[in-house]
Structure formats: structure tokens, C-alpha cells
Amino acid sequence: MNFRAGFPEGAFIALLIGGSKVERILRDDRVRAATLTGSEHAGASVASICGEEIKPTVLELGGSDPFIIMPSADIEKAVKVGTTARTQNNGQSCIAAKRFFVHADIYDDLKERFIKAFESLKIGDPMNDDTDIGPLVNKDAVVTITKQVENAIKDGAKCVIGAEPIKGEGFYFKPGIIEGIPKSSNAYHEEIFGPVMLLFKVTSLDEALEIANASPFGLGSSVWTTDKDEQEKAIKQIEAGATFINSMTASDPRLPFGGVKRSGYGRELAAEGIHAFCNVKTVSIA
């Protein structure tokens, strides 16, 4: 395949190595730049090492993506897509919708619809075509998410449905919904890397944007409204590397992808992704 694309043999090599060997590779003179998709901790480490070596980096890190639903939205579609956006890859996706902001006028209706949608999800073997939710990546993930949910409830939030580990073989976690999360709770802004929807009732788009931006993350965002003014306001004011109107956040090779704030910097994919690792050379011929 490398030859068909015009690349020489060895241009692309996959190294199956442990984290302890990464620094040595980053410091090798043959490595001119680095890009990482991973956690904040891993991103900070790579950026620090490459900074010492004066090598450019592109970091795509965590996210706590907002999913805003206003009264003018296609409610049925928003619920269907929202359920998928929250539970894709069992909720273990950096661009999965995690915090849902629903206008008070449609909150009760949307809440009941999401409950039914979550109840209909089939949990089981991820190799089966009819399975919606498979296991989490490991035991630590189950423990971490369980603690996050428990802490949110201690802070005053209410568990609407699920959001608990499933006993038995495998690292399964029941998809759930939490609402009434107080501002003092970490769950108000943090990332829960699993199938748990954080549901917020808002009285306006301004309130939704204010809470959405009250997070150290800024990767993707999804806004559901047919009101053109609301669309423009959301696009301009939401702090995220991407805003999708009436569709879920997705990574597309035709579009630049990346975040702001603690979600990283730089852009992957598309022309911007290529240019991120190109050096502009000035040539002057007298």
C-alpha cells in the first residue's frame, strides 16, 4: 500500500511499545515532530519532552462535549442521535457527547424519551451485531466511573436511571442518566469516560453556553436548533474546536479536527493537519 501511494518502504511503521519507551523515541534526532491522541497527562508529558527538544506537537486530548437541545429542534432525531453520541464505543470516546443541556420547555419530554432510549440499549458481547453496549476497557475504568457517579450523587445530583457497574464477568457498566448536578460538583464540568449522560435543565441558550464553557475542556460540541440566530450565537460563543449544528460531533478526514483549552492544540486531518507538520520555507532569488 505504501508503494501504491508513492511512499518508500518503511515510511510508516507501527511500534507496539510500552509507555516507558516513548521518551527515547521522542528525543531521537530522526523524529522531527509528534502528534498524540490521549489523556491530559500523556499530552503534558509529550509536550514537555518535545518542548525540551524544540520539536512541534499536535495534541488531541480529553473532552466533556456539550450537547445542547433547544425547543425548535427535531426532538425525535435529537434523542436518537444524542443516545448514539453518548454511548458510542460504550461512552469511551473523546468526542462523545457527555453533558446534555435541554431547554426547560422541553426538558421533561426529552428526559422521558432519553430514559426509554437508554432502557432499550442491549448490553452484551460486543462481537454480536445486535449489541449496543459492550464492556469498558478495563476494571480501573469501571472503578473510576463508579466513583465519579457516587461523588456526583453525594454532591446532590440525582441518578435517573442506571449508571452503575454490572456484576458478573467482564467490565460492564449500565448506561445511565444523572440530573440536578450542582455547580460545586466536579461532575458539573469534568469528563466521565463511560456511558453516563449528565443532564442539565436550562432556561435559555445563554445559560446553556455559560455552563458548557464552564469546563477546562473544549473539544467538540453539538447544538440542536433550527433558529438561525441561535445557531450563529452558538457557533461564535461556544468554546470548542468544532461545533456541529443538528448532528453529532464526528471526526472526518476532510475536516480539520482538534480542540482548545485542555483538550489540546493544533489540528489533525484535512489540509490543516498536513500543514501542522510542514515548515514554510522562504525563497528569494535576486
Which of 240, 228, 241 shows the shortest CA–CA distance to 268? 241
Say how far apart CA 254 and CA 271 lie, in whole Å. 8
40, 50, 53, 94: the catalytic one is 94
- Please confirm, yes or no, whether 94 is among the known catalytic residues: yes
**148, three cell numbers:** 465519579
3-state secondary structure 194-216: CCEEEEEEECCHHHHHHHHHCCC
Identify the burial level of 153 via C-beta atoms within 10 angstroms of its C-beta, where 0-12 means exposed, 13-18 middle and 19 or more buried: middle
Cβ atoms of residues 107 and 204 within 8 Å:
no
CA distance 166 to 70: 34
Residue of 60, 179, 191, 268 marked catalytic: 60
Taking each helix axis from N to C end, the angle separating 107-119 and 75-87, rounded to the nearest 10 degrees, works out to: 50
**Is 190 an active-site residue?**
no
Annotated catalytic residues are 60, 94
